A = this chain, B = another copy of it.
Amino acid sequence: MSSKHGYSGYVANLLERLGAGVGDEVLVEKNGLQLRGFVMARYEFGEPGVLVLKLDNGYNVGVKIDPSTKVSKLSSAAVPAFKPPPPPQPSQNLPKVAIVNTGGTIASRIDYRTGGVKPALSASDLVSIVPEIAEIANVSAEILMQVVSENMTPKHWTTIAQRVNTLFNEGFDGIVITHGTDTMGYTAAALSFALQNPPVPVVLVGAQRSSDRPSSDAAKNLIAAVETAAKAPFAEVVVCMHGWHSDEEIFIHRGTRVVKFHTSSRGAFQSINATPIAVHTQRGIEIIDDRHHSRGWDSYRYHPNFDDRAMLVKFTPGMHPQTLEILAEKMNLRGLILEGTGLGHVASSFIPVLKRLTDSGMFVGMTSQCRFGRVNMNVYENGRDLLRAGVTPLDNMLAETALVKLMWVLGFLGEKAQLDEVRNLMARNLCGEIGGRTRPQPTFHGDELHGL
C-alpha cells in the first residue's frame, strides 16, 4: 500500500500504466468535465477508487475513477522553486523589526510526498518571498523553533517571551512572531501577561493557507504585521490576521481578546467582547480603540513563567460533579476555569464539590460557554450559590484567556500563593482581558447591570 502512496486496485494500476505518481500533473476527463491537477498521496480512510488531485486554486478534490474516466499525464513532478530576489539593502532611515519564527502554516509548504503541509520555509525565505517588507523596515529574521501550534505548551510561551524580552533590549522598534493559527490566541494571551505594557509592539501573525497556494493570506498578513511592528503607536501584544468580513482589511486584535473563530476561512480570527485595536488597510493603520498602551519602557513588566497545573473544563449536561474532584486530585491541579452555561452556571449538584475544592485552597473561576457577553452570577439562585461556594466570576474574560491568565498568575505568585491573592489578580484587569465596553457610568455599581 504505502509504496503506492495509499492507492490500490484500479487507481494504482492506472497510475502505473500512465507512469504517473505523486506530484505529477494529470488531466482527468469525466462526464464532460475536465480537471487538471497534481496527484496527491491518498490518506487511510478514503473511499477506494478515488484519485486525489491538488487543483491550481489550492483545493484538493477526490475524483471517483471508473473505466469511463480518461486520465492522462501532463508533466512530471517538479518541486516548485522560489526565485529569491536580491537581498534588500538595509536603510538607515527605516525602523528595525525582528521576525521570530516559531512555526505554522505561514512558514509551511505542501509536501508533495504525503500530500500534507509541513514547515519548510526559513524566516529569511519569508522575507525573500515578500520583498515589500524590506521597504517598511530593516528586518532581522530568525528561527526560534519549528512547532506546529497545537503542540505549543506553556514552556514554549516562556521561551518565546524570554527571546522577545532580549530583542526589546537590543533596541528593535517592533517584534513580529510567526505562529501557527490553531493556538495563536492562547500564545497571544500568554505573551500579553508575560510581557505587560511592552516597550514596542509584539505582533503575532500566521496564515490560514500555505504560502505556495495562490489564495494564501501569508504575504498580506506579514506585510501588515511588519508595518504594525514598525509604525503602530500602540505597544501591546496583538494578533494580526485577515479580517472576518473583508480580505482588504487586516485586523489587529488585542492578544487577550482574540480567538480562532473559523476552521478554514482566511478571516478566521475575531475579537470577542471588544473591538480590534486597529485595522490595517492599503491606507495604513487605522486606530479603532484609542485606550491602548503606547510605546515606551515606563510601565514594562516582564514575568515569563507559567504553572500548567490548571485546567479548563466545559460544563455540559450529564457531567458528573466528581469529574472535577478526580481531575483536581489526579492532575494535581492548583486551579480550574469553568466554562459554565449562560450567565455562569453549572448544575447545582456541582456546588458541594466546588465548595470543597475552594475550601482546600484551589482557585475556581467562572466564564461562559456563550462566546459573547459577560457572566453575572447574581441573577439566579444557582449563580448566587456558586458565589457562596467560593467560585470567582470572571466578567467577560474569554475562557481561553482565563486559563492562560490563571497559569500565569500561579507562576507569578509561586507555590506559596494564597487563594485570595490568586482571586484578586484574576479579577483585576492587567492587560485589557476583562471589562470594558459595557461598563456603565461610574456613579453606579457596574457589576449588577446584567443587560446588554
Contacts and interface: CB of A to CB of B under 8 A. Distances in A.
Interface of A: 30-31, 33, 43-47, 50, 52, 58-64, 114-118, 148-154, 157, 181-183, 186-187, 215, 259-266, 268, 306, 308, 310-320, 322-323, 326-327, 330-331, 339-349, 368-376, 378-384, 387-388, 400, 403, 407, 440, 443-452
A116 B443 contact: no
Given A149-B341, A327-B326, A373-B262, A445 B316 contact: no
Given A117-B380, A342-B263, A371-B371, A318 B148 contact: no
Given A43-B387, A61-B448, A387-B43, A150 B382 contact: yes
Given A44-B387, A376-B263, A381-B116, A445 B61 contact: yes
B374 A263 contact: yes
Contacts of A114: 381, 384
Contacts of A383: 116
B263 A63 contact: no
Given A260-B341, A262-B371, 4 more contacts: A59-B449, A63-B445, A117-B379, A182-B343
A348 B150 CA distance: 8
A316 B372 contact: no
27 contacts: A43-B384, A44-B387, A45-B387, A46-B445, A46-B448, A50-B445, A52-B448, A59-B449, A59-B450, A59-B451, A60-B448, A60-B449, A63-B443, A116-B379, A116-B381, A117-B381, A149-B341, A150-B341, A183-B341, A187-B317, A259-B370, A261-B371, A263-B376, A264-B451, A264-B452, A266-B452, A327-B327
A383 B371 CA distance: 26
A373 B148 CA distance: 20
* Shortest 9 CB-CB contacts between residues of A and residues of B: A62-B445, A263-B373, A182-B341, A182-B342, A308-B318, A150-B345, A262-B372, A262-B373, A60-B448
A336 to B, nearest CB: 12
A374 B264 contact: yes
A59 B441 CA distance: 14
A63 to B, nearest CB: 6
Which of A182, A315, A444 has most B Cβ within 10 Å?
A182
A381 B150 CA distance: 12
Nearest to A151: B347
A55 to B, nearest CB: 10
A19 to B, nearest CB: 24
A263 B323 contact: no
Given A387-B45, A450-B59, A152 B374 contact: no
A60 B378 CA distance: 10
A452 B265 contact: yes
A132 to B, nearest CB: 25
Contacts of A319: 311
Contact of A261 (B372, B388, B446): B372
Contacts of A443: 30-31, 33, 63-64
Given A183-B317, A263-B370, A148 B376 contact: no
A420 to B, nearest CB: 12
Contacts of A343: 182, 263-264
B264 A388 contact: no
A317 B154 contact: yes
A368 B317 CA distance: 19
Contacts of A61: 440, 444-445, 448-449
A54 B126 CA distance: 58
A151 B448 contact: no
B62 A448 contact: yes
B368 A263 contact: yes
Contacts of A268: 370, 373
Nearest to A323: B331
Contact of A347 (B150, B374, B387, B407): B150
A431 to B, nearest CB: 18
Given A347-B151, A387-B44, A262 B370 contact: yes
Nearest to A314: B314
